[in-house]
Amino acid sequence: MNEKKNLWGGRFTDQADETFFKFNRSYDFDKRLFQADIAGSVAHCRGLEAANVINTEDSIQIQDGLTSLLEKSRSQTDFFADDSAEDIHSFIESNLIKQIGDAGRKLHTGRSRNDQVATAMRIWTRAAIDDLSGDVTNLQKALLDLAEENIDIVIPGYTHLQKAQAVLFAHWCLAYFEMLRRDAERLAEIRKRVNILPLGSAALAGTSYPIDRNAVAEYLGFEGVSRNSLDAVSDRDFCVEFVSASALIMTHLSRLAEDIILYCTNEFGFFELSDAVATGSSIMPQKKNPDSMELVRGKSGRVFGDLISLLSMLKSLPLAYNKDMQEDKEAVFDAFDTVSDCLRVTTIVLKNLSVKRENAERASSKGYLNATELADYLARKGVSFRNAHEIAGKIVLYALEKGVEIEKLRISELQEFSPEIGEDIFGALSLVESLNTKNAIGGTSRNRVDEALKEARNALNK
Ligand code: ARG
């Protein structure tokens, strides 16, 4: 068994039980906080120096030591191989002491691992938010590119997964663009609350050294300092918010994935995935399976699980720090990894998607998607909408029995149902007209969609 490097030598005379040591340890997963913790440690060291708690010589030694650890982490492949460190914080401290000697033992003055870990988590989450925001933007771009390339293609719109009314394919793309726009906004709002410095709260009561916390915050790019030390060391709301925003992104991606999976089926046949993002079957030679999108749909469950893990871990925890909180990391890391992968893969899928114009338009022209246009036509002729709806319904029933679309009925047949119907009905029932009439803000008319695409591009370029 390895000699374990505890941070609490004095009070303890015996070694920890091996099984407990492993159970207690977070190093294997929290080493991802390495860079964040180094940054926090450098800032703390500068704070101690500015407050004259440590002298400039020690401060320089400590900062150089930390920087050199950062460099080693990049150049030495076995740098992180360590089976005795309890967590990344003790790993850094013990390696710093190894590197620079006694000056390293002064770094932990006036701080605790409680404010240290909270700080590192916030620095890490802030960078994760920036990464995810970039991934969201890239996916939004792919949606706009796809919409513009296929600007005049019409697809059926569905409610209850029953054909409802025809819409422009670009309008469908823009629907997902809007979901992602809200996701991006949410990430930006959360970032403000993540970006608050807990360092200086020490274990729970606040540091007893005259550290200028605002200066430390500014150095680390934080927008402010936490107002209450008890809260600051035990607050993981920012983790919950981050994972919650991630979960909602996954919800959106799973809906997009489901639409793509459906539309790639032979039954719908509106899309085809390129070989780059599909798989075949080991037995059925004809198959092209949308595994990429199925995995995105399936992985949403992991992120919802991460959110529930965090909420239940925090529920009823007494103030202030409790070791339960060590469980925050894997949930946050897993949510980030999953969402980031899913955003990237979905972007690639969209770049490898072809829209099958004929199939989409055939499907949009069959199945009475223009029945509402018929009712609207009658309403424009002065029939009350309720009556118009009833007349149109009867015409649909009649057409269904004859096995034809409404516009294939003769004018004389149509007039049996209402004398208000004239020759202009056929124009009104056409695919082009049914789209053009949806010209209020947010509608699927070509004008509105062009406008929306332009606005979306501008918003992205801002
Ligand atoms: N590994 C611990 C965590 O992630 C660091 C904080 C430990 N603090 C303590 N008082 N034991 O939460």
Q: 462: which 2 tokens?
A: 């801002």
- The rounded Å distance from CA 89 to ligand 1 centre is 9
Q: What is the mean pLDDT of the chain?
A: 97
Query: In this structure, are residues 374 and 395 in contact, taking their beta carbons and an 8 Å threshold?
Result: yes
Average confidence (pLDDT) over 201-229: 98
Return the pLDDT at 327: 98
Query: pLDDT-derived band of residue 3, with 50, 70 and 90 as boundaries?
Result: low
Atom of ligand 1 nearest to the CA of 321: 10
Share of the chain above pLDDT 90, in %: 93
Atom of ligand 1 nearest to the CA of 323: 12
Candidates 8, 112, 234, 326: which one to mutate for ligand 1, based on the most atoms within 8 Å of Cβ? 326
pLDDT digits (tens, 9 = 90+) for 317-348: 999 999 999 999 999 999 999 999 999 999 99
Query: In this structure, are residues 380 and 437 in contact, taking their beta carbons and an 8 Å threshold?
Result: no
SS3 track for 315-337 = CCCCCCCCHHHHHHHHHHHHHHH
Q: Which of 235, 232, 208, 213 is nearest to 223 (CA)?
A: 213
Return the pLDDT at 11: 86
* Residue closest by Cα to atom 2 of ligand 1: 326
Candidates 323, 325, 328: which one to mutate for ligand 1, based on the most atoms within 8 Å of Cβ? 323
Catalytic residue set: 160, 281
The CA-atom distances, in angstroms, between 228 and each of 231, 263, 320 are 5, 53, 11
Query: pLDDT-derived band of residue 285, with 50, 70 and 90 as boundaries?
Result: confident
Return the pLDDT at 281: 85
Q: 270: which 2 tokens?
A: 């509106």
Please say if the pLDDT value at position 2 is more than 80.
Answer: no
The b/e string for 152-188 (b: 16+ C-beta within 10 A; e otherwise) is ebbbbbeeeeebbbbbbbbbbbbbbbebbbebbebbe
**Ligand 1 pocket by C-beta < 6 Å: which residues?**
26, 30, 87, 89, 113-114, 117, 321, 323, 325-326
Of the listed ranges 18-22, 174-178, 284-288, 317-321, the one predicted with least confidence: 284-288
Residue 320, preceding bond cis, omega within 30 degrees? yes
Return the pLDDT at 1: 43
